Amino acid sequence: MMKFRVFLIKYAEIGIKGKNRFLFEDALVKQMRRALKNVEGDLRVYKQPGRIYAEAAGDCDTDEVTEALNKVFGITAICPILQLPDEGFEHLARETVRYVEEIYGQDCAQTFKVNARRARKNYPKTSQQINEDLGEVILDHFPGMHVDVHKPDILLNIEIRESFINLYSMEIPGPGGMPVGTSGKAMLLLSGGIDSPVAGYMIAKRGCKIDATYFHAPPYTSEWAKQKVIDLAKIVARYSGPINLNIVNFTDIQMYIYEKCPHEELTIIMRRYMMRIAQTLAEKSECLGLITGESIGQVASQTMASMMVTNEVCAMPVYRPCVGLDKQEIVELSEKIGTFETSILPYEDCCTIFVAKHPVTKPTLKHIRRSEVLLSEKIDELVQTALDTVETVWIKAEE
Ligand code: ATP
Ligand code: MG
pLDDT per residue over 309-342, tens digit each?
999 999 999 999 999 999 999 999 999 999 999 9
Q: What is the pLDDT of residues 280-317, one digit of tens each?
A: 999 999 999 999 999 998 888 889 999 999 999 999 99
Tell me the CA–centroid distance for residue 139 and ligand 2, in Å: 60
49-103 per-position pLDDT tens digit: 878 999 999 889 999 999 999 999 999 999 999 999 999 999 999 999 999 999 9
Q: Residue 13: pLDDT above 70?
A: no
What is the band of 22 on the pLDDT scale with cuts at 50, 70, 90?
confident
Residues of the chain with CATH 3.40.50.620: 185-395
**How many whole angstroms separate alpha carbon 379 and alpha carbon 383?**
6
pLDDT tens-digit profile of 364-397? 999 999 999 999 999 999 999 999 999 999 999 8
pLDDT at 224 over 70: yes
In this structure, is the dihedral angle defined by the CA atoms of residues 331, 335, 340 and 341, taken in order, positive or negative? Answer: positive
- Write the residue with the smallest CA distance to atom 16 of ligand 1: 292
For residue 297, which ligand has an atom nearest its CA?
1
Give tens-digit pLDDT for 232-263.
999 999 999 999 999 999 999 999 999 999 99
pLDDT value at residue 337? 97
Taking the C-alpha atoms of residue 34 and residue 192, their distance in angstroms, rounded to an integer, is: 26
**Stretch 169-180: mean pLDDT:** 95
Give the span between the Cα atoms of 353 and 347, in whole angstroms: 11
Residue 14: the pLDDT is: 64
CATH number of 6-173: 3.30.2130.30
Residue with the smallest CA separation from ligand 1 atom 10 is: 351
Q: Which ligand is nearest to the CA of 193?
A: 1
Q: Among positive and negative, which fits the CA dihedral 10, 12, 14, 17?
A: negative
Check: CATH 3.40.50.620 for 185-395?
yes
Provide residues with CB under 6 Å of ligand 1.
189-191, 193-196, 213-215, 274, 292-294, 298-299, 301-302, 349-351
pLDDT value, residue 357: 77
- Residues 6 or more apart from 171 whose CB is under 8 A from it? 10, 77, 78, 79
Strand partners, 167: 82, 158
Q: How far apart are CA 81 and CA 9, in angstroms?
A: 10
Kindly list the protein residues that place their beta carbon closer than 5 angstroms to ligand 2, a single-atom ion: 191, 193, 349
Question: 75: CA distance to ligand 1 center in Å?
Answer: 30
The whole-angstrom separation of Cα 30 and Cα 21 is: 14
Beta strands in 161-259 (DSSP E): 165-168, 172-173, 185-189, 209-216, 243-249
| Residue among 195, 247, 337 to mutate when testing ligand 1 (max atoms within 8 A of CB) | 195
Ranges in the chain annotated CATH 3.30.2130.30:
6-173
Centre a 10 Å sphere on the Cβ of residue 375 and count the other Cβ atoms it contains: 19
Amino acid, res. 202: M
Q: Which ligand is nearest to the CA of 272?
A: 1
On whether the pTM is more than 0.85, the answer is: yes
Count the neighbouring beta carbons within 10 Å of the beta carbon of residue 226: 20
